[in-house]
Amino acid sequence: MDKVNKLKIFNDPIYGFITIPNSLIFDLIAHKYFQRLRRISQMGMSYLVYPGAHHTRFHHAMGCMHLMQKAVNVLRFKGVDISEDEENGLLIAILLHDIGHGPFSHAMEHSIVTGISHETISLLFMEYLNVEFNGSLTLAIQMFKGEYPRNFMCQLISSQLDMDRADYLKRDSFYTGVAEGNINAERLITMLNVVDDELVVEEKGIYSVEKFLVARRLMYWQVYLHKTSVVAEQLLMRVLKRAKELTERGMDLKASRALSYFLNNEINNSNFTTDTLAVFAQLDDYDIVSGMKEWQYHDDFVLKNLCDMIINRDLLKVKLKNKKRKLDSVKVHKENLMKRYNISAEEADYFVFTGEISNQAYQLKTQSINILHKSGKIQDIVKASDQLNLKALSKPVTKYYICYPKR
């Protein structure tokens, strides 16, 4: 076999050319577990609201790696000592930070797998790959878990101003066409520095950080927590939940091998073995979509109608309010539905429900974003900024929704 050229270049619509720095990272990207991310949509069901939002976790992971390369170069230029091993650790950790996401990104975690988060599954994938790659991911795993002694490296991977957020805000705003989310990731990265192994932003980057936090808030309300996206994701979770319920009752549902495994087995944190991981790695958006295309003809009223709603984008009506809803309105909608279709209260619950969504652009309590003044003084962005609304951005805002059939 010819020797493969492993220093490939990817063309990204946002950053232009992204280079793969070495053969280890090339081999990780080429691995089937990573290639699966091409079949996992980055924004779940948001394409039902924003038709352009069809980009994948693969795009996002590559973008994060590119931004991490930039961050390492900027910090080295400013005299921060980062060894080649540390750089590799950072690139691998950010590249694989989302490898544990299930189909449509979040719907799995709340339906057919219980009590296990995508972060935990990402870690299981990384530990599996570490064995396959002879321990070369050990440092990356340490950084990913936040256990590496040089804290700024853990912050670059996961904090309130990390490479993950820097990429997804810019990328998601590009693919949805929602201009409010378009942050200047490059400028933010150019303003980074390190003091006492903690990540700081130089004073002249203060407005870029303000814009970043405002963009984050607007993207949550306009895109991630858009009421139609919320109801579509709720319906998807209910499809999977109902499919699992029917399978448990002994009904045979047509599904792919990987999906059948999760429908037929009770998978949780305690029994998620290497074998389970191998089956999970077979699971992507296509399994769920083809499942729903079959199930829309099923005899079960609930499963049939839920699938039909998603496949044909004929979703439930959703109303948002700032105050909690009275239970009376839920009761009325439920009773109407039960009478109309002669279904039980338990079945009606799948179509009439309430919930809440919460948005907090900046969390004062957790790892804060610190500004480095010219004098050497370090201050939290909320104190350093003359923008009064940053304090308001750090308070969670909760809205309440009710969903019910349109007719």
Q: Where are the domains of the chain?
A: 10-224, 227-312+344-351
CATH number, domain 10-224 = 1.10.3210.10
Instruction: Quote the DSSP letter at residue 294.
Output: H
Kindly report, residue by residue over 378-403, the tens digit of the pLDDT: 999 888 887 767 777 778 889 999 99
* Domain 227-312+344-351 in this protein, CATH class: mainly alpha
What span, in angstroms and rounded, lies between the C-alpha atoms of 45 and 301? 23
Kindly report, residue by residue over 336-350, the tens digit of the pLDDT: 999 999 999 999 999
What span, in angstroms and rounded, lies between the C-alpha atoms of 393 and 369? 13
What span, in angstroms and rounded, lies between the C-alpha atoms of 107 and 41? 11
Q: Which of 393, 369, 336, 62 is nearest to 215 (CA)?
A: 393
Q: Which of 309-329 are b and which e, b meaning 16 or more Cβ less than 10 Å from the residue's Cβ?
A: bbeeeebbebeeeeeeeeeee
What span, in angstroms and rounded, lies between the C-alpha atoms of 305 and 113? 23
Domains 10-224 and 227-312+344-351 in one fold: no
0.75 exceeded by pTM:
yes
Kindly report, residue by residue over 65-83, the tens digit of the pLDDT: 999 999 999 999 999 999 9
Kindly report, residue by residue over 350-378, the tens digit of the pLDDT: 999 999 999 888 877 677 899 999 999 99
Residue 325 pLDDT > 80: no
Kindly report, residue by residue over 246-255, the tens digit of the pLDDT: 999 999 999 9
Kindly report, residue by residue over 147-180, the tens digit of the pLDDT: 999 999 999 999 999 999 999 999 999 999 999 9
Residue 1 pLDDT > 50: no
Q: Is the dihedral of CA 185, 19, 76, 362 positive or negative?
A: positive
